Structure 1
Amino acid sequence: MKETKEVWMQKTVVVWLGALLCCALWGSAFPCIKIGYQLFEIGAKDVATQILFAGARFFLAGVLAILFGSVLNKKPLLPRKGAIGRIVWLSFLQTVLQYLFFYIGLAHTSGVKASIIEGVNVFIAILVASLIFHQEKLTARKMIGCVIGFAGVVLVNVNGSGMDAGISFFGEGFIFLSTVAYAFSSVFLKRYSKEDNPVMLSGYQFVTGGIIMMLCGFGMGGTLTHVTPAGIAMLLYLALVSAVAYSLWGVLLKYNPISKVAVFGFMNPVFGVILSAILLNEAGTIGAMCLVALVLVCVGIYIVNKGERRK
């Protein structure tokens, strides 16, 4: 049964559909977070409350992931004693470090530059998996596919505004560090999934990381004072996005090379632009450049996955 599931999860159509679903959900988070800020009346520069908001989102995401996993396994999804340390380490990398660096960095740079730097996480994940942990081989085909996909990320974000030559450690530097934390979390999630259920790991690391982020937000002076039913509904949706997408992403990483899955991360900003145009009435952001970017990202994903299929 285990072998059948492993073979099924390695099928190209399953990887493509599963990874694209994750990226579509993550892409929807970009405009929905903005809507959430509006509903909770969180200011653009109120980093403390943004971190508090993110912590609440991830705590709820963890609870949902644990509930879903328990239903699917037909028994409570509980961590083994040996998994506690792995959960804490994952939550530190994936939730706490990544998002603390991201939110603080975003307050000191433009959204365009942040999105482009975030696109580097695919390169870093593949390099870390190949050169440091030796989980797979680094090939010219993988790097070519990544370069083409990254070109799409740059195109979809460059719209004549938000770009300049200025670089700051607390701005662009922190955004880059968030990508490094994400890359290492992907590698460790794949490694830990050999011994533990990836949905269990996702759920408990979100709960742990969410609590830490809420405490950080409170400690920095953050407060959620304007609470409405619409705001709570949006918070629950964002929690659902994280619970479903990260759990599914973890399952895909468990059964496939990191490069084969991570390369789909280039689709996040593409989905983000398209869904922002729909949900935030930013129709002007979709044009010929966006379509070219989508083509480049798809070509990059195809090249990387074609190499994996041949092997």
Structure 2
Amino acid sequence: MSSATSALLPSPAASRLTDRKTVFLLAMFCCLLWGSSYPAIKGGYGLFGIAAGDIPAKLVFAGWRFALAGAALLAWATLSGKRVGGWTGRQWSGFALLGLLQTTLQYVFFYIGLANTTGVKSSIMNATGTFFSVLLAHWIYHNDRLSFGKAIGCLVGFAGVMVVNLGSGLGGLLHLDFTLLGEGFVVIAAAVLAGASIYGKRISQGVDPVVMTGWQLAVGGGTLLLLGYGLGGTLRNVTPASATLLAYMVLLSALAISIWSLLLKHNRVSLITAFNFMVPVFGAVLSALFLGESILEWRNAAALVMVCIGIWLVTKEPRRR
């Protein structure tokens, strides 16, 4: 077999990343990690003594999380013999743009939004990212078109988001318990992440996804630190407990985003985003477990079911004739 022909064939590692069982296990692991981030972030606010309105301190908290995660990934890539430098100007600008979008901009909205609503509601609202991904993929990829089933799934999912924001009591059915700085910012963060993920899939075709993730986290986290400290933010109450939680969040980010980028590189966008329905499940359950929030309230339970059904309709494989 010629070298040119063998170069066109998938490597054993790439083949494993398209195996359904492997994809399932890795994607579920990512969703579990991301689900745990909701109670972890809100717990971090308490451990570090960050007040609800202290936006600069939230940016510093997020900045250290992602900057350290990026540094850890780049160090591991270097020790593994991967190429981490010597990129073209276009590639460096791609890393920078991805970092500013996927890390800086997304988490500015996400951290502020999460501080102004509950972890359960945030996990459900953030699931709208799946629907944004499906809609964007329709216009970008010829093999990922929006079908009738996907359209119905989007409608059901967004209806679930409306349900979780209904007010309490009979009168609450006539108005939404929704604020721009809370639920609104979480949805905006989901939309930014959807667009950045598709852009990251494009960049990863010519770069190792782990290295790409390391640089985008380093750039995005560094920008968050500059913004946070520049606005007067700082981290107080640095204790063994708060430092341990921050270390967990660094590990969470490094693992989840790297694995997700690998899966996106070797699979269709809609196939991988199919597993996003487990993020609100894990997020809601873990928020109820660690934060004492209610998951059994009818709005939360109904919205969770509707969002999961919507994402399943959006991402299920069509039956072959």
TM-score range normalised by the length of the shorter chain: 0.7 to 0.9
| Equivalent residue, structure 1, for 2:34 | 26
SS of the counterpart of 1:10? coil
Say yes or no: does 1:37 pair with 2:45. yes
Q: Deviations over 1:78-128 (max 9, x none)?
A: 034122111101001101111112334456x53466555433221111211
Pick one of 273, 281, 301 that aligns with 1:270: 281
| 1:159–1:238 distance in 2 versus 1, CA, 3 Å | farther
Deviates more, 1:288-297 or 1:252-261: 288-297
Three-state SS of the structure 1 residue aligned to 2:111 is: helix
Partner of 1:253: 264
Q: Which sections of structure 2, spanning at least 5 residues, go unmatched?
A: 1-8
Cα 1:158–1:11 change in 2 (3 A) is: farther
**1:199 pairs with 2:206:** no
Aligned-pair CA distance for 1:65: 2.1
- Counterpart for residue 241 of structure 2: 230
Quick one: which of 213, 218, 221 aligns to 2:229?
218
Q: How has the CA–CA distance of structure 1 residues 157 and 266 changed in structure 2, closer, same or farther, with 3 Å as cutoff? A: farther
Alignment of 1:290-309 (within 5 A): 299-307=309-317
- Contact 2:121–2:300 (8 Å) recurs in 1: no
1:285 paired to 2:295: yes
CA distance in 2, matches of 1:191, 1:295: 32
- Which residue of 19, 24, 36 maps to 1:16? 24
Are 1:81 and 2:75 counterparts? no
Q: Percent identity?
A: 41
Contact 1:115 1:157 in 2 (8 A): no
Displacement after TM superposition at 1:66 (Å) = 2.2
SS in 2 for 1:57: helix
Paired residue secondary structure (2:232): coil
Gaps of 5+ in 1: none
Q: Per-residue deviation at 1:133?
A: 5.7
Aligned partners of 1:270 and 1:290 also within 8 Å: no
Please report how far the alpha carbon of residue 19 of structure 1 lies from its aligned counterpart in structure 2 after TM superposition.
1.4
1:266 shift after superposition: 2.9
Call closer, same or farther: CA 1:147–1:34 in 2, change over 3 Å.
same
The structure with the largest alpha-carbon Rg is 2
Cα offset, 1:136, TM superposition: 2.5
Deviates more, 1:291-300 or 1:187-196: 291-300
Moved more, 166-175 or 209-218: 166-175
Q: TM-score, normalised by structure 2?
A: 0.82
Query: Is 1:91–1:209's contact at 8 Å kept on the other side of the alignment?
Result: yes
- Decide whether aligned partners of structure 1 residues 249 and 68 sit closer, same or farther in structure 2, where only a CA change above 3 A counts: same
TM-score (norm 1): 0.84
User: Where does residue 102 of structure 2 map in the other structure?
Assistant: 94
Query: What is the CA–CA distance in structure 2 between the aligned matches of 1:286 and 1:55, rounded to whole Å?
Result: 34
Alpha carbons of structure 1 residues 223 and 195: separation in structure 2 relative to 1, 3 Å: same
CA distance in 2, matches of 1:275, 1:174: 21
Question: Matches of residues 154-173 of structure 1 in structure 2 within 5 Å?
Answer: 160=168, 164-165=175-176
Contact 1:63 1:203 in 2 (8 A): yes
Equivalent residues of 1:116, 1:154 under 8 A apart: no
| DSSP 3-state at the match of 1:81 | coil
Q: 1:244 to 1:23 in 2, by over 3 A?
A: same
SS of residue in 1 equivalent to 2:317: helix
Report the AA paired with residue 189 of structure 2: S
Which deviates further from its counterpart, 79-88 or 139-148?
139-148
User: How far off is 1:60 after superposition?
Assistant: 1.1
Q: Which residue of 2 aligns with 1:122?
A: 130
